Structure 1
Amino acid sequence: MPEPVDVSPPFRWDLVTPDQLGSMLAGGPEPELWFIDDLTECAGKVLARSGNGDLLFVGRSLDSMFDLLSGALAGIATEQRLARLPFSFHRRPVVDGRGKWRVPALSAEQRTAARRVLTDLDVTPHALARRRRPVTFVDVVHEGSTFAELFELLDDWIAESREPWEVVRRKLRFLGVTRRRKTSPHTWRWQQHAEWTRRLPAASVQNVSLHALVWSYFGDHQTKLTRSFRPDRWLRPDDGPGRDERARQALAEAVALVAYGRGASGRRALASGIDREPALAQPWLRSLVRRLNGV
């Protein structure tokens, strides 16, 4: 169990039961969800390839997918749970004259803070070794550096705890949302170049592709509702939500995504995104699709 430490992850509104918004959305224009078809199809594949794991969305890049799925799964009988793991591992250039980048090593205080956040999400070595279903971490992926840092953080903790690795490794899954490209025998795949992925079962590291423009919007350009939660901010007090015009527009977009996911057409579109996925052979996914279709 991590030592007691005061950690304040960035505040984000609960948009499924939004009783805190007040007048934040009053008078604003309707958001244009130009990306909704691509996002919904991708979210369906994320569900299908999750291994029936609880979905933890890492960082902020896929907040829109979290919002869409939060609405879609609200009130549906399913074991799957959704949560956000707001970690952002900040990279900086290595001072060696070759322009490389690296993630600075975490301090003892930062490791304790990270473990506190994971403990609040019930993602501890003890809990992982005893849970029935896996935890599936989801993030946009370019080279996989965030997943690598997260795996190292968990790996060190598991080794210290002396929980059985052969049991824990089967409860960890990593699902990368990648930029869609033309495939060829020479296509670069991040997981094939990451040594840590070889320590997990082959099915535990998977990808879902997303249209390049939508991937770039979520990963690089979209206004987020929370500040970046980098290691140097893990021990700082939270400064609360933004309330400027950009924040209001981002909030309106997030609320609209929850509403779309909750609606019948959004749920049917999500179920359609699961079509032809091999995991449909598994009862848990067939049952989820029936519920999304209102059957």
Structure 2
Amino acid sequence: METVGLTPYALARRDRPAVLVDVVYEGETFTELFTLIRDWIEQEREPWSVVRRKLSFVGVTIRRKTSPNTERWHQHAAWTRTLPASAVANVSLDPGVWSYFGDHQVKLTRSLRPDLWTAAAEGPGRDERTRQALVEAAALVAYGRSPAGRQAVARAIGRDPALSQSWLRSLVTSLTTG
């Protein structure tokens, strides 16, 4: 976290929140990560009242039927209630797409399960599947950065009923004007 500028000191002095994104099944990795960050903030004696506004978590989840009875990963994680309500969000994907990203896509970095956080870093594999995954990742990033890609994402989001939420309208605006 220090390497990417997410120390307690840096978080307390950021202009905008740091957004942590993960493919989420039950949210256990986010819980572990939040606990690690919270303990680090306390150890470094940075003001939690400031830092809590500089963290956001986005869970990429499986799209399920929308109803009051549908459980979401963050509803049972007590730590999420220590952050502003807007700091925890979900982006849901079609189950097949989520499964591709969460279960089947070749990983280019090691898994970041909590039990591996302090393990020595390994590089990506050098086999053909990994090379193809690198090509796919580079193509997706290039498309996402292109005006056509940004407009396609904005159009897709624009059809979503969640567009009534102000954060999503702001995202669409930044995609179409950025």
TM-score, normalization by structure 2: 0.86
Aligned counterpart in structure 2 of residue 160 of structure 1, from 34, 43, 50:
43
Structure 1 vs Structure 2: percent identity of aligned residues?
60
Q: Which residue of 2 aligns with 1:290?
A: 177
Matching residue's letter, 2:120: R
Structure 2 portions without partners, runs of 5+: none
Cα distance, 1:149–1:251 mapped onto 2, change above 3 Å: same
Q: Summarize deviations over 1:246-287 as a string: whole Å, max 9, x none.
A: 1122122122212322444212102224433523665x8634
Aligned counterpart in structure 2 of residue 236 of structure 1, from 120, 129, 132:
120
Structure 1 portions without partners, runs of 5+: 1-117
Q: Which residue of 2 aligns with 1:185?
A: 68
Alignment of 1:177-216 (within 5 A): 177-216=60-99
Paired positions, count? 172
**Between Structure 1 and Structure 2, whose CA radius of gyration is higher?**
1
Cα distance, 1:237–1:217 mapped onto 2, change above 3 Å: closer
C-alpha deviation, 1:232, in angstroms? 4.1
Q: Secondary structure at the match of 2:2?
A: helix
More helix by share: 2
Q: Which residue of 2 aligns with 1:81?
A: none
Q: Which residue of 2 aligns with 1:278?
A: 166
Q: Secondary structure at the match of 1:158?
A: helix
C-alpha deviation, 1:196, in angstroms? 0.8
Residues 1:217 and 2:104 are matched in the alignment: no
Q: Distance in 1 between matches of 2:117 and 2:81?
A: 31
Q: Distance in 1 between matches of 2:47 and 2:117?
A: 32
Q: Distance in 2 between matches of 1:193 and 1:127?
A: 29
Q: Distance in 1 between matches of 2:46 and 2:36?
A: 15
Q: Which runs of 4+ in 1 moved over 4 A?
A: none
Residues 1:253 and 2:141 are matched in the alignment: no
Alignment of 1:30-179 (within 5 A): 118-179=1-62
C-alpha deviation, 1:289, in angstroms? 2.1
Q: Distance in 1 between matches of 2:83 and 2:4?
A: 22
RMSD of Structure 2 on Structure 1 (CA) = 2.1
Q: Secondary structure at the match of 2:60?
A: strand
Cα distance, 1:144–1:289 mapped onto 2, change above 3 Å: same
TM-score, normalization by structure 1: 0.54
Q: Distance in 2 between matches of 1:185 and 1:280?
A: 21
Cα distance, 1:254–1:272 mapped onto 2, change above 3 Å: same
